[in-house]
């Protein structure tokens, strides 16, 4: 089976490419490196000792997509490509709507044209907005608070409409919770060039001395220690979730939505303490005001993905902290 992976040089995409190759899928990858580095492609090959076809290009380029589908017999698609920075989406909404929506619509049109009607799409727990209760189930009401989240929700609607119009489609909408960690080789991981927005990349930069301390956004939330609680999932577990999703997509039709999380919530302080103790390193921090738009707590009910996909995350917080630190130290020395 040959899977077309968009955004395959990115954080989650690269780990998923490794899992696909390890599971004997052939892959065809596209990325425009707008948020990733060229050498990731070689690192995927180094980890798996396997080769694959790579196109440097933009998923908004429909002619290129047609060329790729002409040159390769594709069985299914995993669509990661998109912009993902919440703050940037607020200041540059058109850039987000253009990139995330146009790429997806072009991709779906070309898939339709080539009669490839099987896709797994990267959505996000952000579409749950501020949930009324926890844990979060897939049928909870949906809302968004920023353009990034709105692009995800709009694409989910497009995919649902597409299936309604043509029941030959097979679609898995995957709502990720908070992926952290890195491949255990330390060769691939998440390493933003700018000052990171997300918690773990920020902690990683503090750990290696690139930033002097972590700002913890609020300690007056309704959680066990007052700091925000999230469902952190190891990126390798998340990548394995895509294998389960693509297996399901390949053998059935339908449009289904799945949470990919662990079901366990950890606070910011839980993460800081675990990172310090697992890696024997100090993470100085300061409690500052809340970050606008943040919610108290968010964690998945992972029952549906266990039942229907057979997916269960197996890595623990210790693995996530160890692998994150290993990756950042290794990339610093390269
Ligand atoms: P990432 O930025 O590391 O990866 C996305 C990749 O897509 C990058 O390599 C980027 O260069 C590429 N890309 C972007 N626009 C493109 C385009 N038009 N054409 C070709 N390539 C393009 O992000 P990630 O963390 O790996 O996330 C992957 C997907 O999962 C995204 O759609 C993101 O919104 C979604 N998601 C991520 C998280 C998270 O916390 N990381 C959570 C929920 C959902
Ligand atoms: N957070 C923090 N300091 C940071 C970045 C994040 O205290 O520098 C907190 C944030 O308020 C939230 C949690 O860490 O409670 C996870 O934030 P992240 O941005 O990683 O994920 P998201 O909020 O998108 O779930």
Domain boundaries, the chain: 2-181+232-263+300-313
Report the C-alpha gap between 108 and 102 in whole angstroms: 10
**Ligand 2 pocket residue status of 217, Cβ below 6 Å:** yes
**Ligand 1 pocket residue status of 191, Cβ below 6 Å:** no
Ligand 2 atom nearest the C-alpha of 217 is 7
Query: Which residue puts its alpha carbon closest to atom 15 of ligand 1?
Result: 82
Query: Which residue puts its alpha carbon closest to atom 34 of ligand 1?
Result: 84
Q: What is the pLDDT of residue 311?
A: 98
Q: What is the CATH topology of the domain spanning 2-181+232-263+300-313?
A: Rossmann fold (3.40.50)
**Ligand 2 pocket residue status of 96, Cβ below 6 Å:** no
Query: Which residue puts its alpha carbon closest to atom 1 of ligand 2?
Result: 199
Task: Considering only CA atoms, give the Rg of the chain.
Answer: 19
Indicate if the pLDDT at residue 154 is higher than 90: yes
Q: Which of 49, 50, 87, 51 is nearest to 192 (CA)?
A: 87
Please compute the mean of the pLDDT values over residues 230-254 and round it to a whole number.
98
Indicate if the pLDDT at residue 119 is higher than 90: yes
Q: What is the pLDDT of residue 206?
A: 97
pLDDT, one tens digit per residue, over 246-271 is: 999 999 999 999 999 999 999 999 99
142's tokens: 């949906």
Indicate if the pLDDT at residue 332 is higher than 90: no
- To the query of whether residue 221 is one of the catalytic residues in this protein, the response is no
Helix (H, G, I), strand (E, B) or coil at 220: coil
Please compute the mean of the pLDDT values over residues 237-243 and round it to a whole number.
98
Q: What count of Cα atoms within 13 Å lies in the side-chain half-sphere of residue 192?
A: 16
Q: What is the pLDDT of residue 293?
A: 87
**Ligand 1 pocket residue status of 151, Cβ below 6 Å:** no
Mean pLDDT of the chain: 97
Please compute the mean of the pLDDT values over residues 34-58 and round it to a whole number.
97
């Amino acid at each position: 089976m040959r899977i077309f992976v968009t955004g395959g040089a990115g954080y989650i995409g690269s780990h998923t490419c490794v899992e696909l190759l390890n599971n004997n899928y052939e892959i065809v990858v596209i990325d425009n490196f707008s948020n990733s580095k060229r050498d990731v492609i070689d690192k995927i090959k180094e980890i798996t000792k396997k080769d694959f076809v790579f196109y440097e290009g933009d998923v908004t380029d429909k002619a290129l997509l047609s060329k790729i589908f002409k040159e390769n017999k594709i069985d299914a698609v995993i669509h990661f490509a998109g912009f993902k920075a919440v703050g940037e989406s607020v200041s540059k909404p058109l850039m987000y709507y253009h990139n995330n929506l146009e790429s997806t619509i072009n991709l779906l049109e070309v898939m339709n044209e080539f009669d490839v009607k099987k896709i797994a799409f990267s959505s996000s727990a952000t579409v749950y907005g501020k949930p009324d209760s926890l844990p979060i189930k897939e049928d909870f009401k949906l809302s968004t608070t920023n353009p990034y989240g709105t692009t995800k929700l709009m694409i989910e609607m497009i995919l649902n409409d597409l299936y309604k119009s043509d029941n030959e489609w097979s679609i898995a909408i995957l709502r990720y919770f908070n992926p952290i960690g890195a491949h255990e080789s330390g060769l691939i991981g998440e390493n933003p060039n700018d000052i990171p927005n997300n918690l773990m990349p920020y902690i990683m930069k503090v750990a290696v001395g690139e930033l002097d301390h972590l700002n913890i956004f609020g300690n007056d939330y309704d959680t066990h220690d007052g700091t925000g609680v999230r469902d952190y999932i190891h990126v390798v577990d998340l990548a394995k979730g895509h294998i389960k999703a693509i297996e399901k997509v390949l053998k059935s039709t339908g449009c289904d939505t799945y949470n990919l999380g662990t079901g366990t919530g950890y606070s910011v302080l839980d993460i800081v303490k675990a990172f310090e103790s697992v890696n024997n390193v100090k993470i100085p921090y300061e409690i500052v005001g809340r970050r606008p738009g943040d919610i108290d707590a968010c964690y998945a009910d992972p029952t549906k993905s266990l039942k229907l996909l057979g997916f269960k995350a197996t890595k623990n917080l210790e693995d996530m902290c160890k692998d994150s630190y290993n990756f950042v130290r290794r990339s610093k020395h390269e």
